Amino acid sequence: MEITQTKHGDILVIGPKGKLDANTSKMFEDCLIPLIDQGHKKILADFAQLDYISSAGLRVLLLAARKLSEGGGKIALCSLKPSIKTVFDIAGFSTVFPIFATQQDAITDFTK
Amino acid sequence: MTATKKLVSLVIKNDLAELARVSELVEDIGQKHGVPAEALYAVNLALEEILANVISYGYADQGEHQIIVRFDVEAGDFVVEIEDDARPFNPLAAAAPKVEAPLAEKPLGGLGLHLTRTMMDGMAYRREREKNILTMRKKIAIDHKG
């Protein structure tokens, strides 16, 4: 899978494309976790190009959020498609992850 | 014995890479029958979660196993049936995870089954001829009764 990485100041924006499923989530984990280990403290997962997520993808987000919170960091999400938002709601993730409509909204929140 | 006529069936090996073939077929059937995108997402997710569980945790040996996935579109439902020879496991009887727990206590396991049970409109499990047979239904017809 393709995962884009861009920086906005000290915010690292991670954009997975396509599907985060039982096969591709390992790749997402291998990308995201080392970035946290390297010291990135503000991570924004931009899901504008993401069409699908299953529990395998949710697991990686949960691992990342826990690792970040242990080190005083934070992860936020933006641009979730409706079906993906439904999965977040059912899994109880919408209450623990800050979710923004647009990347700009998320960046504004990070920097305030 | 069940003699239900099924639209199409697919035999896969117990390998996670096989899941791509399953989702391709789901997309195909969905397109042919005009299944709404949300229903297709739910069916894809349910199949992935159940099959990934079977493939990752279902077998005591390291050998190759066959899993049969049957598909049907009937009476306004997208119906999928999974038949495997893994250890007995009833996904309907598994305990629900504490999804409302705060971040630090959120469970890593059980989420897939929870998503599946919530997103499907019907699930039935039986153990037959040393096989797990799980039937799942997702409504695709528009309900005019509101």
B134 pLDDT higher than 70: yes
Give the mean pLDDT of B109-122: 95
Please choose, from the candidates A75, A89, A1, the residue with its C-alpha nearest in 3D space to the C-alpha of residue A45: A75
Give the mean pLDDT of A78-107: 97
Q: What is the DSSP string of chain B?
A: ------SEEEEEES-GGGHHHHHHHHHHHHHHTT--HHHHHHHHHHHHHHHHHHHHHS-SSSS--EEEEEEEEETTEEEEEEEE-SS---TTTSPPP-TTS-GGG--SSSHHHHHHHHH-SEEEEEEETTEEEEEEEEE-S--TT-
Give the mean pLDDT of A17-44: 97
Residue B33 lies in a domain: yes
Domain range list for chain A: 3-111
Cβ pair A55:B102 closer than 8 A: no
- Please name the member of A21, A59, A83 whose beta carbon is closest to the beta carbon of B37: A83
Are B101 and B90 spatial neighbours (Cβ–Cβ below 8 Å)? no
- Please name the member of A54, A62, A83 whose beta carbon is closest to the beta carbon of B48: A54
The pLDDT value recorded for residue B107 is 82
Q: What is the mean pLDDT of chain B?
A: 92
Residue B63 lies in a domain: yes
pLDDT band at B4 (very low <50, low <70, confident <90, very high): low
Residues in chain B closer than 8 A to A86 (CB atoms): 38, 119
Q: Number of folded domains in chain B? A: 1
- Please name the member of A22, A62, A96 whose beta carbon is closest to the beta carbon of B108: A62
Residue B44 lies in a domain: yes
Residue B145 lies in a domain: no
Query: Is domain A3-111 classified as CATH 3.30.750.24?
Result: yes
Residue B144 lies in a domain: no
Residue B2 lies in a domain: no
List alpha helices for chain A, DSSP H: 25-37, 55-70, 82-91, 103-111
Domain, as residue range, for B84: 8-139
Which 3-state string (H, E, C) describes B85-96?
A: CCCCCCCCCCCC
Residue B1 lies in a domain: no
Cβ pair A95:B19 closer than 8 A: no
pTM of the full structure: 0.93
By C-alpha distance, the chain B residue nearest A65 is B103
CATH number at residue B63: 3.30.565.10
Name the more confident of B141 and B102: B102
How far A64 CA sits from the closest chain B CA (Å)? 11
The pLDDT value recorded for residue B2 is 47
Q: Write down the ipTM of this complex.
A: 0.94
A33 in contact with chain B, both atoms CB, cutoff 8 A = no
B58 pLDDT higher than 60: yes
For B6-52, what is each residue's pLDDT tens digit?
A: 789 999 999 999 999 999 999 999 999 999 999 999 999 999 999 99
The pLDDT > 70 percentage for chain B reads: 93
Residue B3 lies in a domain: no
